[in-house]
Amino acid sequence: MIKGEKIRLDIHNILYSIYKLNKNLNNSSIKELINKHNKKDKSFINNVLLNSMRLHVHTSKIINKYINKKIGDHEKILLISSITQIVFLNFKEYAVINCSVEIAKKLNVYHGFINAILRKILKDKDKLKDIKVNFIDLPNWFKKEVGFLSKTEKTTFLKNFYKEPDIHIVFKNEYNLNKFDEDLIKTSPISGFLLNKKNIKNKKSFVNGDWWVQDFSSFFPLYNYKKKESDRKFLDACAAPGGKSFQLLSKKFDLVTNDKSSTRIKILKDNFKRLKFDAKILNKDFIKFDERDKYDLIVIDAPCSAIGTIRKNPEILFKNKGPDFIKLINLQEKMLDKASFLINKHGSILYMTCSFLKEETVKQIEKFLKKNSNFQLSNFKLINKDKIYSKLIKDNLMITLPDNILNKSIDGYFAAYLRRTK
Ligand SMILES: C[S@@+](CC[C@H](N)C(=O)[O-])C[C@H]1O[C@@H](n2cnc3c(N)ncnc32)[C@H](O)[C@@H]1O
């Protein structure tokens, strides 16, 4: 096989294992397969992988226009990545078709069929670029979960879910932002969207630990947190890789950080080192925390479907199976229950998810308040009451779809402050 074919065969195998075997892009076997390539090929692979997943609703619709019989998984995935390269990435068409035909031979897929379909698609390429997807084209599990969205919200989701995300960064303090020498669209005195997305981790100010990457939506709830006189001890119960902990530590709060995953704790430690932060780090199951330890603020950035981060994690809608909702919802509920026993009187739980699905968000809060009459939903007070920021809060809950502010992308997100009153 020539080099282009070998690279594209690796792309095919990765897409297949995400689609069929439910793997994530950051799975160690996938990372290993990508890392064996040189820098230029890695960037080619990531480009094709991410765009094939982001645009798979579009490319699947194109496939259905040309084929009216059921096709196998290998054929489907091979066509998805080839169409992405020809129609949306404008790669050299004949190189793509030749490589796909050779890969089809390797996979024992009828290569004449792949060749014929891709040649037909090539002829219609310019017209196909503008293919529109509708809500009905999205995966069934997703449509079932979001029946509650209004027509306008569905349109917002359709407009945004497949686009490349922007990069939002957060500084340790105003001084670090003010001496930053790159173009930035400021979202607060300590944060903004980075305009030059290239090689961001090589920038001197990043290496020096002046800032970290954190989506605006995920930054917003703690940015608006006002410390009370009585607040002494803080806990970030699901902390890794660390965004919320960095926010709390940059305010010099007395913080305990915890995460169940030892792999993710390693990443958190590396991040603390770069940012020159120091805090007590635990590697425990939060559900099993000792209830004698009490806190004034517990942050639960709960494990969830992560559907709000669809632009960064396009595999969520690409996989042929939806998330395990029963397991996730049960875990989220147990975490909230646990936190209710660890909170000092007048303290708060900040419950957050990078999801906007009712089951993981509003319904969890409703269940919690029903069970715990000694808690109430706090006012979500904003530091900056500008219209673009207030639109993120409704009935004292922060809830947003993958959307835009200041013409830049933000994740879908949810946050609620629950205050212990008695
Ligand atoms: C949404 S992520 C947290 C992101 C993090 N707060 C940040 O801002 O970078 C959820 C985290 O929960 C952790 N987790 C899952 N189950 C847990 C449990 N039972 N106890 C503690 N952490 C858990 C996962 O390892 C994962 O790192």
Q: Which atom of ligand 1 is nearest to the CA of 285?
A: 20
pLDDT for res 90:
94
CB atoms within 10 A of CB 385: 9
Q: Which atom of ligand 1 is nearest to the CA of 335?
A: 19
For residue 313, the Cα-to-chain-centroid distance in whole angstroms is 5
Cβ of residue 239 lying under 6 Å from some atom of ligand 1: yes
Ligand 1 center–CA 368 separation, angstroms: 20
Q: Which domains does the chain have, with CATH numbers?
A: 3-133 (1.10.940.10), 220-420 (3.40.50.150)
**Could you tell me which of 214, 216, 233 has the C-alpha nearest to residue 408?**
216
Site to probe by mutation for ligand 1, drawn from 168, 259, 350, 414 as the one with most ligand atoms within 8 Å of Cβ, is 259
Q: Which residues contact residue 70 at a Cβ distance below 8 angstroms, ignoring those fewer than 6 apart?
A: none
pLDDT for res 3:
84
**CA–CA separation, 412 and 354 (whole Å):** 6
Classify 351 as helix, strand or coil.
strand
Q: Which residues contact residue 373 at a Cβ distance below 8 angstroms, ignoring those fewer than 6 apart?
A: none
Ligand 1 center–CA 332 separation, angstroms: 11
Both structure tokens of 358: 């009712």
Report residue 233: phi and psi, to 5°. -110, 135
Cβ of residue 334 lying under 6 Å from some atom of ligand 1: no
pLDDT for res 199:
86
Both structure tokens of 144: 């079932």
Cβ of residue 264 lying under 6 Å from some atom of ligand 1: yes
Q: Which atom of ligand 1 is nearest to the CA of 334?
A: 19
For residue 284, the Cα-to-chain-centroid distance in whole angstroms is 24
Ligand 1 center–CA 413 separation, angstroms: 15
Cβ of residue 286 lying under 6 Å from some atom of ligand 1: yes
- DSSP per residue over 317-334, as a string? HHSSS---HHHHHHHHHH
Ligand 1 center–CA 147 separation, angstroms: 28
Contact status, residue 286 vs residue 238, Cβ threshold 8 Å: yes
Report residue 337: phi and psi, to 5°. -60, -45
Q: Compute the chain's Rg from CA coordinates.
A: 23
Cβ of residue 139 lying under 6 Å from some atom of ligand 1: no
**CA–CA separation, 34 and 167 (whole Å):** 23
**CA–CA separation, 82 and 97 (whole Å):** 7
Q: Which residues contact residue 389 at a Cβ distance below 8 angstroms, ignoring those fewer than 6 apart?
A: 220, 382, 405
pLDDT for res 197:
87
Ligand 1 center–CA 241 separation, angstroms: 8
Cβ of residue 260 lying under 6 Å from some atom of ligand 1: yes
Contact status, residue 67 vs residue 113, Cβ threshold 8 Å: no
pLDDT for res 1:
75
Q: Which residues of 134-151 are buried (b: 16+ CB within 10 A; e: fewer)?
A: eeeebbebbeebbeebee
**Residue 241, preceding peptide bond in cis (omega within 30° of 0):** yes
10-residue mean pLDDT series, the chain (422 residues):
90 96 92 94 96 98 94 96 97 94 94 96 96 96 94 96 97 97 96 92 94 98 93 96 98 96 97 97 97 96 98 96 97 98 97 98 98 96 92 96 96 98 94
Ligand 1 center–CA 306 separation, angstroms: 12
Contact status, residue 230 vs residue 346, Cβ threshold 8 Å: yes
pLDDT for res 372:
97
* Burial classification of residue 162, based on how many CB atoms lie within 10 Å of its CB (0-12 exposed, 13-18 middle, 19 or more buried): buried
Q: Where are the beta strands (DSSP E) in 254-321?
A: 254-258, 280-282, 295-301
